[in-house]
Structure 1
Amino acid sequence: MNLEVCVERALSLLTDDVRARFTESPMAVLREDLKLTVRPAEHLSDARDDGGACDGVSFLQDGVILYAPTPWSRRENFTLAHELGHWLVDQAPDVYDWLADQDEPGRLLETACDRIAQRLLLPEAAALTVIGAGPLTAQHLIDLYDASQASRPVCAIALAKRLPGLGAVAIIDRATQEVTHASVKPDPEQGWPIVFPWRGQQLTQGHALLGLASGASLSQRLPWWTPWGAQADFYVNAVGDEKRVYAVFCDSDLWKIETFHAPIQRDFDTRPLLSGSCCGTTFQRRGYPCQACRQPFCPNCGDCRCERDAKHAATCTRCFLQFSPHLVVDGLCVECRA
């Protein structure tokens, strides 16, 4: 199985008729056909800008979707389609299990739901028509947005799938200097790199992309930094408008920027994949275990097993040692009660 097979299997749970009507009326399909509870939640949009990441959250077991309302907008349709993606994945155990076994399962799940949303809202042929003979450029995102009713993130998702290898299509907000959407295509063999553009990342002061004038474009080999200071180069094609910069990142030189291609040092995530249980669920994550209990740290609360045990331990009021709660009676441990 691969990501595209996952998307196809999830979408197969919808009839052709439902998929066709979703494009015209997402809300009606969710409520009337799928019997989901869909409610607006204003607070979800507090920290989001137009063209940003999905403005929704799902409570799958209860069949509830909350979303930031932007009535009749492309952005709202993308949010609803993305949350439907989460619901569909949850209905397909083989898809969910495959995603959970992969590197970076959380990001891969979001990528799968993004692609489900794109398939629901934008025909596959639309991106191919816009790209033509190629190569893929940032201007194609603007052209696809203008030629369709899909949101900018949906257009970015559709285009990122057409990259020949490792790369990403990103949307950067000029006002906040922040990546508001990034659709990443991992390396087909080595998976997710350590350094890549992702939602919420801030561009460094003086970055060439921030200096791109409205209507201007560039094609350069540029560095990209993560919030923790790691850096790697990408070949980048970008174009700007008044509010945003659209950028295509690629591991290979699609745009013939250089004659001589100096090797790009790129590290991939090789930390061990650990499994654990905490906060009412099981999880997998890459990282190193606690040196004391040799168990992974929970991605939700951040605790390992010994830290969780310590939080629930009871302290003896006489010897001040910690024990499991059932071993402490009236404030005293077994030894101090003897």
Structure 2
Amino acid sequence: MPRTFDAVPAQVDAMVRVWEARGGSQDDLTRDAFAALESRDDLTVLRVPEFVPHDSQLGCSVAGGYRWDPPTLIVTQSMSWRRQQFTLLHELGHHIQKTDIALGTAIVEHREPEAFEDASCDAFAARMLLPDDLVDTHIHGSGPTVSTATGLFAASNASRAAICVRLVGRLRSAGVVAVLDGDGIVTFAAACGGLFPPARGSDQCSNPLVQAALRADRDGRVVTRDDAQIWYRDGHTSDLLYGQAAWAGDRLFLTMVSHGAPWLTFSPPRDSTADRAPDAWEECEHCHQEFVAEGVCGRCEHPRCPSGHCGCTANTEQTCTECFLCKHPSQFDTGSTVCRDCAS
């Protein structure tokens, strides 16, 4: 899940300057990133049905990839048009950073280079889709609320993911902006201030804020609670948070902060209110081993099985040497290069 770093805003400012020096236009990217980038001769835009080719950079927070040679931005077509725009701009962020010495140096010298690069790509994409003046018109008072999120979704062609990333950068305290599906499952989340976001695919139905929102009418009305909590896959929770939720179409926006909630006159921190649920059993998607989730991967926020597998390895595709299709590792017997369909 995306996190923010103190150096991201400066990195994004530099990315914008590099892009403009290469003849790029922010306004064109805001209107239609595909039209703006497909007309260029210094890179290629490749749309693929469902998966990212294995020879491109993986591990992004988006369903896309970047191929170094020749420079190619890869986007899966199975996503919504809004999400494809965000993914395309995210991959453009990789291209800009990998083809500029100063930007590349900033990544290499960072304490968490891969996470920093990915966070910068998210922030760059969000800024292109949601310019400052548009965001400013939807923030009233001391910071963004969930109404800011739903208002931006209605007023722009930005994805919900872009809105999460943009608004988490405007929070004035530790917080999370997230999107959930109709079953209370996280589809995207971004966090700041040292608060870890819930993992993509994690169930948040134990969060009192989510419980109330799932019972509410999906008419855009705001649900507010002061006992919200993030539930992590290792069975732990965050401290109690101040939260708001509202529906935008078939997805639920959540805004949760540790203190200083913009919608309240007084909201102090509630430290030491985190809890731990009983041991949570998980099944490894890679080796199908059941285990008690005792720790998570710092990169993908998924629990790690005793064999060291996590979301990073579970998402790694493997090409069958018989049918030459890219498939999930679980479709192969251990050590085999032929998928079970071809082997049977």
TM-score exceeds 0.5 = yes
Q: Is the alpha carbon distance of 1:104 and 1:211 closer, same or farther for their aligned partners in structure 2, counting shifts above 3 Å?
A: farther
How far apart, in 2, do the equivalents of 1:73 and 1:286 lie? 30
Q: Does 2:231 match 1:225?
A: yes
Residue 207 of structure 2 is aligned to residue 202 of structure 1: no
1:131 equivalent in structure 2: 139
Cross-structure match for 1:278: none
Aligned partners of 1:15, 1:260: CA distance in 2, in Å?
Answer: 42
Counterpart for residue 239 of structure 1: 246
CA RMSD across the alignment: 3.4
Alpha carbons of structure 1 residues 120 and 135: separation in structure 2 relative to 1, 3 Å: closer
Partner Cα separation in structure 2 for residue 34 and residue 82 of structure 1: 19
Instruction: For residue 39 of structure 1, give the secondary structure of its aligned residue in structure 2.
Output: strand
Go from structure 1 to structure 2 and tell me whether the alpha carbon gap of 1:70 and 1:298 turns closer, same or farther (over 3 Å shift).
closer
Structure 2 CA distance for partners of 1:262 and 1:84, relative to 1, 3 Å: closer
8 Å Cα contact 1:75-1:151 kept in structure 2: yes
- Shift in Å, 1:125: 1.2
Going from structure 1 to structure 2, the CA distance change for 1:140 and 1:73 (only over 3 Å counts) comes to same
Max Rg structure? 1
Residue 266 to residue 102, structure 1, CA distance change in 2 (3 Å): farther
User: 1:261-281: per-residue Cα shift (whole Å, max 9, x none)?
Assistant: 4641399xxxxxxxxxxxxxx
Report the AA paired with residue 12 of structure 2.
V
> C-alpha distance in 1, partners of 2:262/2:67?
43
Matched AA of 1:202: D
Residues 242, 119 of structure 1: CA spacing in aligned structure 2 closer, same or farther, 3 A cutoff?
closer
Partner of 1:313: none
**Rounded Cα–Cα distance in structure 1 between residues aligned with 2:267 and 2:76:** 48
Q: Give, in angstroms, the shift of residue 184 of structure 1.
A: 1.8
User: Aligned pair in 2 of structure 1 residues 30, 255: CA closer, same or farther (>3 Å)?
Assistant: closer
Pick the aligned partner of 2:191 from 184, 205, 219: 184
What SS class does the counterpart of residue 113 from structure 1 fall into? helix
Distance verdict in 2 for CA 1:240–1:97, change over 3 Å: same
Q: State the partner residue of 2:323.
A: none
1:158 counterpart (166, 169, 178): 166
CA displacement, residues 11-67 of structure 1 (integer Å, 9 cap, x when unaligned): 21112752232233422433332522222211139xxxxxxx632111224312221
Q: Give the partner amino acid of 2:149.
A: L
Aligned residue in 1 for 2:12: 7
Aligned equivalent of 1:114, options 122, 129, 132: 122
Change over 3 Å in CA distance of 1:70–1:228 after alignment to 2: closer
Task: Indicate conservation of the 8 Å contact 1:40/1:66, yes or no.
Answer: yes
Counterpart AA for 1:225 = W
Q: Measured at CA, do residues 135 and 206 of structure 1 come closer, stay the same or move farther in structure 2, by a change above 3 Å?
A: closer
Distance in 2, Cα, partners of 1:205 & 1:286: 23
SS at match of 2:126: helix
Taking the aligned partners of 1:72 and 1:301, their CA distance within structure 2 comes to 26
Q: Specify the code of the residue in structure 2 equivalent to 1:229.
A: G
TM-score by length of 1: 0.67
- The separation in 2 between residues aligned to 1:237 and 1:181, in whole angstroms, is 16
Counterpart amino acid of residue 31 in structure 1: E
Distance 2:166 2:178 in 1: 12
Q: Which residue of 2 aligns with 1:248?
A: 255
Picking from 39, 44, 67, the partner of 2:46 is: 39
CA contact (8 A) 1:220 1:257 kept: no
8 Å contact 1:169–1:182 — kept in the other structure?
yes
The secondary structure found in structure 1 opposite 2:209 is coil
- In structure 1, runs of 5+ residues without a counterpart are 46-52, 268-284, 288-296, 303-338
Which amino acid counterpart does residue 14 of structure 2 have in structure 1? R
- Identity fraction in percent: 22
Amino acid across the alignment from 1:201:
S
SS of 1:18's equivalent in the other structure is coil
**Which position in structure 2 is the counterpart of 1:279?**
none
Partner SS, residue 170 of structure 1: strand
Task: For 1:152 and 1:82, locate their aligned partners in 2 and report how far apart those are by CA, in whole Å.
Answer: 14
Q: Name structure 2 gaps, 5 residues minimum.
A: 1-5, 53-60, 275-296, 300-308, 315-344
- 1:253 to partner: Cα distance: 3.4
- For residues 224-255 of structure 1, give each alpha carbon's deviation from its aligned partner in whole angstroms, at most 9, with x where no partner exists: 12111222122212223562221112121315
Preserved CA contact (<8 Å) 1:18 1:33 = no
Give the partner amino acid of 2:204.
L
TM-score, normalization by structure 2: 0.66
